[in-house]
Amino acid sequence: MQFTIPKSHIIDVLSRIQGLTGRKSNLAITASVLVRATAEGLTLAATDLETGFIGNFKAEVVSEGSIAINARKFFEIVRDFPSDEIKVHEIENHWIEIGTEKVQYHIVGMNPDDFPEIPRIEDSNFFEMDAAKLKKMIEQTGAIGPVDEKRAHILGTYMERLDIEGCKRVRMVSTDGSRLSTANYNFDAGVDLPSGPGILIPKKGLIEVSKFINDEDTVRVIIKNNNIVFKKETETIIIRLLEGVFPKYEDIISKEQGFEIKIDKAPFAMLLRRMSILSSENYKGVVFKFEEDTLTVHSTNPEIGESREDMEIAYGEKPLEMAFNPKYFTDTLNVIDDAQVVLTLVDEEKPCLIEGENDKTFISVIMPMRI
C-alpha cells in the first residue's frame, strides 16, 4: 500500500475520531484507525465497538492495500508534519513509513483483518435533518447522565418519530432521574417521515455525531437492524442502539396546572453562578424563594459559609420556597438562545419546567430537592 494525501484532507477527521479510538475496549486494535487505499481514494474507519465511523477522502494512490495504524500517533504525526503532502507507504510485516526525504517516521501497524467489522447499512428509508438543528438537539439532551450509570434509559437518549395533528417531528428525550430534557425537530408540511418505534441511542455516540456535522450540512438518518446511521456526503457514523424501555414522560412536561414566570436569562445565570460558589459535593442545593415581585436565592454550606441574593421578577402568585441544584439550571440556560426564559411552577413538590420565551422546541424539567 502506498498513497499521498494532503494534510488538510485528514487532519480534522483524525482529530475528531480520537473520541472513539481513545475509549477503552476489550480489543486493543480499537485504538487504531483502519486505513484502506483503493483506486477511488482513501477510506478511514474507527470504532469503539458501539459507534463506528467511515470516511472517504481523495488521495493519490500508487498501490492499493489496508493497514491499522495507532490513531493517536498517526494524528500527532500528521498534525505536526512540516509539509502539506503526507506520504504513507507500507513496507513489510505491517510496518508503515510516513514522511518525505527530510522527515521520516517508521511505525508498526496492525493486521487489518483483525479490525472489527463496521455494519454496512443500505441507504434506504431515510429522512433528512438540518445539521445545525440536529446538533443543537444533541447539545440540549446529550449531556445529562452520569458516565458510570448502567440503566439503559439513562445511558441513552430516547428518540421517537411523532405525527401530532399532521405536524411531523422527531423528538429526543433524556434524563438522569433528577432532570429531564426534551428537544423537538419539526418538519415542513409534506415531508415523508418514515414511521417506527421509539429507540434508545447511546449518549456518547450522539456526542461523537455532533463532532462530525457542520452547520451547513444536511444529514441523512437511517434506522435499521438495531442501528442508527447519520450520513453526510463523505462521512458516515453508525451507532448500535441500546436495549431497554424509556419511562413515560409526557405528563412530566405538561404545563396545564402550572403558572409561568418570565426571567431575563443573563442576570439569572450570573446569580446562579454566584450562588454556586459555596456549593460542594456534600452541599449542592440552593433555596429559591418566590415572593411578590422578588426571587431570593439562598445558599448554605456548613463547611464554608452562606450567601444570599435578591432579584426582581414579575411574580404575583402565592409564596413558594423550593430547593434546586443550581448546576441543572445553569446547564439548561447554556443551551437556550432566547434572552428571556420562562419557568413554569405548580407547588413546592412538583418539578420546575424551563424553556425559552420564543423557542418552544426545547423544555427542561428539574426536580426539586428536599429542604
Longest CA–CA separation in the chain, Å: 79
pLDDT at 135: 94
Please compute Rg for the chain using Cα positions. 25
From the list 145, 147, 205, the residue with the least C-alpha distance to 175 is 145
pLDDT at 146: 58
C-alpha to C-alpha distance for 173 and 162, rounded to whole angstroms? 13
Q: Any bridge partners for residue 33, and if so which?
A: 69
pLDDT at 350: 93
Q: What angle do CA 78, 83, 86 make, to 5 degrees?
A: 50
C-alpha to C-alpha distance for 246 and 126, rounded to whole angstroms? 23
pLDDT at 100: 85
pLDDT in tens, the chain (371 residues): 999 999 999 999 999 999 999 988 889 999 999 999 999 999 999 999 999 999 999 999 999 999 999 999 999 999 999 989 999 999 989 999 999 888 999 999 999 999 999 988 887 789 999 999 999 999 999 766 655 667 888 889 999 999 887 889 999 999 998 999 999 999 988 788 888 899 999 999 999 999 998 877 899 999 998 999 999 989 999 999 999 999 999 999 988 888 999 999 999 999 999 999 988 888 889 999 999 999 999 999 998 999 999 999 999 999 999 999 999 999 999 999 999 999 999 999 999 999 999 999 999 999 999 86
Domain coordinates in residue numbering, the chain? 2-114, 127-240, 259-366
Residue 204 CB neighbour total at 10 angstroms: 19
Residue 165 CB neighbour total at 10 angstroms: 4
Q: Which CATH number fits domain 127-240: 2.60.40.420, 3.40.640.10, 1.20.20.10, 3.10.150.10?
A: 3.10.150.10
pLDDT at 147: 54
Q: Any bridge partners for residue 106, and if so which?
A: 97
SS (H, E, C) the chain: CEEEEEHHHHHHHHHHCHHHHCCCCCCHHHHEEEEEEECCEEEEEEECCCEEEEEEECCEEEECEEEEEEHHHHHHHHHCCCCCEEEEEECCCCEEEEECCCCEEEEECECHHHCCCCCCCCCCCCEEEEHHHHHHHHHHHCCCCCCCCCCHHHHEEEEEEEEECCEEEEEEEEECCCEEEEEEEECCCCCCCCCCCCEEEEHHHHHHHHHHCCCCCEEEEEEECCEEEEECCCEEEEEECECCCCCCCCCCCCCCCCEEEEEEHHHHHHHHHHHCCCCCCCCCCEEEEEECCEEEEEEEECCCEEEEEEEECCCCCCCEEEEECHHHHHHHHHCCCCCEEEEEECCCCCCEEEEECCCCCEEEEECCECC
- Could you name the CATH architecture of 2-114? Roll (3.10)
112 within 8 A of 66, measured Cβ to Cβ: yes
C-alpha to C-alpha distance for 277 and 285, rounded to whole angstroms? 12
User: 2-114 and 127-240 share one CATH topology?
Assistant: yes
Q: What angle do CA 53, 54, 59 make, to 5 degrees?
A: 140
Residue 333 CB neighbour total at 10 angstroms: 20
Q: What strands lie across the sheet with 286-291, from one edge to the other?
A: 305-312, 294-301, 286-291, 320-324
Q: What are phi and psi of 262, to 5 degrees?
A: -95, 135
Residue 235 CB neighbour total at 10 angstroms: 19
Q: Which residues 6+ apart lie within 8 Å of 92 measured at CB?
A: none
pTM, 2 dp = 0.91
Query: Domain 259-366: which topology?
Result: DNA Polymerase III; Chain A, domain 2 (3.10.150)
From the list 318, 286, 13, 336, the residue with the least C-alpha distance to 183 is 336
Q: What are phi and psi of 335, to 5 degrees?
A: -110, 10
Set of cell numbers at residue 363 = 423544555
